[in-house]
Amino acid sequence: MTKIDNPWIKLLTRINQEDYEAIQLLEQTCCREDRTALKLELDYKLAAGEAMASDSSASRHINDFLFYDGSNLVGYIGISDFGGAGIPFEVNGMVHPEYRRQGVFKQLSGLLMDEWKRRTPAADMLLLTDRSSVPGQSFVKGTGAVYKHTEYEMFLQADRPAVQPDRVNVSLRKANNADALEISRQNNIYFHNELECDPAAEADGDMLLPEEEEKKGMTTYLAEVDGQVVGKVHIQLTPALGGIYGLGILPEYRGLGYGRATLLMAIAKLQEAKAAAIMLQVAADNAGALQLYKSCGFEETSTMDYYILTRQAAAAQ
């Protein structure tokens, strides 16, 4: 253990390139030493930060909590807020292996909780931890958070031969802001088990706008058959990695091969963009999706548990 001699804390509303590189270096060290995975969304946060820099109306909530010993970043907790009414934000963090058991994470998590209390209205929090992380599991359970679900992280390596799509008449159309309501409706169907979007969110304009999300590096495509929307997918490309998110096919169009075709077209777009590897996450209990991804060459690399912490549960601690 390395004794902390010169501690100080940095609180950020957005990260810049220097912050990104420091956090990424700490992430690589922790994942290598612990043999676990983290879900910090650094590329998305960096792009979002660059967009915020030129937007005077952007939120000024604190989303990143950094603990330094002198010039060395030794601890970090980050909030990933993907927006939308009632959508919980995700929290994940780490401490350098040589600086543990000195209260670093306790201090950062205390600041996180204070920030959460200041947010009005505040969504619930999803606390994330690798299934194999003993400290992570212990911390999350000590907060009063309740297990929600598990996701597998899966990777498709660049040297894997491309899987050819079946002869299914699906096309991908890049979404624009006029499609925001349709995207919100589909997200509710796929991820919240609701058949309609939130009317309050529509009235308040509190929906993700595809053109704004594209500025942050996330491009949304609507899957169409003969001009009819049947589903959607989001893709992200960073210098080293491609990501596939939010893929779904509307219930009335399932079982027709549209999901597989949409996935393969998303893979093709990322391969054309020279992604070194392609990553996605899938709910552990979604057997159909898991089998689909495996059939297209994806392999499981880690297991991430999600715990939900409500304001009421936090207040009771």
User: What CATH number does the domain containing 235 carry?
Assistant: 3.40.630.30
Q: Is residue 84 part of a domain?
A: yes
**Do residue 184 and residue 110 come from a single domain?**
no
**Do residue 253 and residue 311 come from a single domain?**
no
Residue 119: C-alpha distances to residues 109, 115, 305 (Å): 16, 7, 25
Q: Is the pLDDT of residue 194 over 70?
A: no
Residue 257: C-alpha distances to residues 89, 95, 166, 170, 192 (Å): 32, 44, 8, 9, 23
Q: Is residue 155 part of a domain?
A: no
**Do residue 291 and residue 189 come from a single domain?**
yes
Structure tokens at 61: 């909530």
Q: Which residue has the higher pLDDT, 107 or 237?
A: 107
Q: What is the overall mean pLDDT for the chain?
A: 86
Report the phi/psi class of residue 35: left, alpha or beta, with left for phi > 0 and alpha for psi in -120 to 50: left
Q: Compute the average pLDDT of residues 216-232.
A: 93
Domain that holds residue 250: 161-296
Q: Is residue 137 part of a domain?
A: yes
**Do residue 52 and residue 11 come from a single domain?**
yes
The pLDDT of residue 195: 37
Q: Is the pLDDT of residue 203 over 80?
A: no
Structure tokens at 76: 């970090």
Count H helices and E strands in the chain, helices first: 10, 12
Q: How far apart are CA 199 and CA 215, in angstroms?
A: 26
**Do residue 234 and residue 173 come from a single domain?**
yes
The pLDDT of residue 136: 92
Compute how many other C-beta atoms are within 10 angstroms of the C-beta atom of residue 120: 5
pLDDT bracket for residue 188 (50, 70, 90):
confident
Q: Which residue has the higher pLDDT, 148 or 49?
A: 148
Q: Compute the average pLDDT of residues 153-159.
A: 84
Q: Is the pLDDT of residue 174 over 80?
A: yes
Q: What percent of the chain has pLDDT over 70?
A: 85
Pairing of strands 89-95, 125-130: parallel
Q: Compute the average pLDDT of residues 163-174.
A: 80
Q: Is residue 156 part of a domain?
A: no
Q: Is the pLDDT of residue 199 over 80?
A: no
Q: Which residue has the higher pLDDT, 283 or 199?
A: 283
Cβ proximity of 204 and 223 under 8 Å: no
**Do residue 123 and residue 73 come from a single domain?**
yes
Q: Is the pLDDT of residue 202 over 50?
A: no
**Do residue 24 and residue 133 come from a single domain?**
yes
Q: Is residue 106 part of a domain?
A: yes
Cis peptide before 121 (omega within 30 of 0): yes
Compute how many other C-beta atoms are within 10 angstroms of the C-beta atom of residue 13: 13
Q: Is the pLDDT of residue 134 over 80?
A: yes
Q: What contacts 225, CB < 8 A, 6 or more positions away?
A: 169, 170, 171, 253, 258
Q: What percent of the chain has pLDDT over 90?
A: 61
**Do residue 230 and residue 143 come from a single domain?**
no
Q: How far apart are CA 217 and CA 83, in angstroms?
A: 15
pLDDT bracket for residue 16 (50, 70, 90):
very high
The pLDDT of residue 201: 43
Q: How far apart are CA 17 and CA 21, in angstroms?
A: 6
The pLDDT of residue 198: 45
pLDDT bracket for residue 164 (50, 70, 90):
low
For 285-304, the pLDDT digits (tens) are: 888 899 999 998 999 999 99
**Do residue 219 and residue 279 come from a single domain?**
yes
Compute how many other C-beta atoms are within 10 angstroms of the C-beta atom of residue 310: 16
Q: How far apart are CA 58 and CA 56, in angstroms?
A: 6
**Do residue 67 and residue 41 come from a single domain?**
yes
**Do residue 14 and residue 40 come from a single domain?**
yes
> How many domains, in total, are found in the chain?
2
Q: Compute the average pLDDT of residues 132-155.
A: 92
Q: Is residue 172 part of a domain?
A: yes
Q: What contacts 34, CB < 8 A, 6 or more positions away?
A: 97, 130, 132, 133
Q: Is residue 75 part of a domain?
A: yes
pLDDT bracket for residue 18 (50, 70, 90):
very high
Q: pTM, whole model, 2 decimals?
A: 0.83
**Do residue 167 and residue 243 come from a single domain?**
yes
The pLDDT of residue 55: 60
Q: Is residue 2 part of a domain?
A: no
Tell me which amino acid residue 41 is.
Answer: E
The pLDDT of residue 121: 65
